[in-house]
């Protein structure tokens, strides 16, 4: 079973992935947690390039290809092998993020991104994509508070530094993707309290939990 978590900055994906990991461990369900960008050692180098605020001169097309390169490596080295061993694979962001951020956010050609995603994923898509949806003000406020609470104060990444309008376009993109792929997407209200949101996610996943893959 391949499940991706998607949504704007600070919507709570990483928090929910962690809660789900604990839940799957308690149920004794074999699973692998991964993320994009940066799910492989090569990917970690690509992630650093992509998120470093010092790389403000990065061309949108360069950015698009770097995400595709990260994904191609991730599919070959992590995702396909994990699915072949019939583990649950939980991915914090996947190819939909490229459509939402580089397509809707940056305005790169959507048809081209669709093709590029097909190449990079080799046609391997999540069985379920959980879209944690919230207003951009809520997500960005959470992301900023998390930075302030950690030792990272003043260290917003290249995407967190983008204007509100960019994040609004990304949110719209995700909602459109969900509308276009209703069989794969579930939209969750990410303004909900952490534990309640986790329970909703478990309720969605429950029918799949007894399946082998
Ligand atoms: N990107 C990625 C692209 O442009 N194209 C692509 O193809 C891909 C794959 C990745 C960046 O790359 C971009 C998108 C991103 O900008 P990242 O660091 O992995 O960078 O960024 P995010 O995935 O956005 O991670 P964030 O940490 O910013 O957001 P999360 O994971 O959604 O949020 P989380 O769980 O860390 O929570 C943030 C804060 O909110 C609190 C948490 O405790 C935390 O402090 N919180 C809640 N508070 C109240 N109620 C809730 N329900 C809460 N849930 C979490």
Which CATH number characterizes residue 27's domain?
3.40.50.300
Give the pLDDT confidence score for residue 7 in this predicted structure: 98
Q: Which residue's alpha carbon is at the smallest distance from atom 16 of ligand 1?
A: 159
Helices 110-121/60-74 angle, 10° precision: 20
Nearest-CA residue for ligand 1 atom 1 is 97
Residue 146: the pLDDT is: 83
Domain tally, the chain? 1
Instruction: Judge whether 213 lies within some domain.
Output: no
- In this predicted structure, what is the pLDDT of residue 61? 97
Listed in sequence order, the residues at least 6 apart from 151 whose beta carbon sits closer than 8 Å to its beta carbon are none
The domain in which residue 29 lies consists of: 2-208
Instruction: Please state the length of the chain.
Output: 213
Region 99-116: mean pLDDT is 98
Share of the chain above pLDDT 90, in %: 87
> Is residue 150 predicted with pLDDT exceeding 80?
no
Flag whether 187 is in a domain. Answer: yes
For ligand 1, say whether the CB of 71 is within 6 Å of any of its atoms: no
pLDDT, one tens digit per residue, over 184-199 is: 999 999 999 999 999 9
79 occurs within a structural domain: yes
Is the minimum distance from the CB of 166 to ligand 1 under 6 angstroms?
no
The pLDDT-based confidence of 156 (bands split at 50, 70, 90) is confident
Is 203 within the bounds of a domain? yes
The CA 141 to ligand 1 mean position distance, Å, reads 11
105 within a domain of the structure (yes/no): yes
Predicted TM-score (pTM) of this structure: 0.96
What's residue 58's pLDDT?
96
For ligand 1, atom 24, name the residue with the nearest CA: 9
Asked if residues 112 and 118 have their Cβ atoms less than 8 Å apart, the reply is no
Residue spans of alpha helices (H) in 28-163: 41-51, 60-74, 80-84, 95-98, 110-121, 136-149
């Amino acid at each position: 079973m391949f499940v991706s978590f998607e949504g704007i900055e600070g919507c709570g994906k990483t928090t929910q992935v962690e809660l789900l990991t604990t839940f799957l461990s308690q149920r004794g369900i074999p699973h692998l947690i991964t993320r994009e960008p940066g799910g492989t050692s090569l990917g970690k180098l690509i992630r650093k390039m992509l998120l470093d605020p010092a790389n403000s001169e990065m061309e949108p097309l360069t950015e698009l290809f770097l995400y595709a390169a990260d994904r191609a490596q991730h599919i070959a080295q992590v995702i396909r092998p994990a699915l072949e061993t019939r583990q649950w694979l939980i991915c914090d962001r996947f190819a939909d993020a490229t459509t939402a951020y580089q397509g809707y956010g940056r305005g790169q050609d959507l048809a081209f991104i669709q093709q590029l995603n097909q190449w990079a994923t080799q046609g391997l898509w999540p069985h379920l994509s959980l879209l944690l949806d919230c207003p951009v003000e809520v997500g960005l406020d959470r992301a900023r508070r998390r930075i302030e609470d950690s030792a990272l104060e003043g260290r917003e990444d290249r995407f967190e530094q983008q204007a509100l309008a960019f994040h609004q376009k990304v949110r719209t993109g995700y909602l459109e993707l969900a509308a276009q792929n209703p069989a794969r997407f579930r939209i969750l209200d990410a303004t909900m309290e952490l534990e309640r949101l986790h329970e909703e996610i478990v309720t969605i996943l429950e029918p799949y939990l007894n399946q082998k893959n």
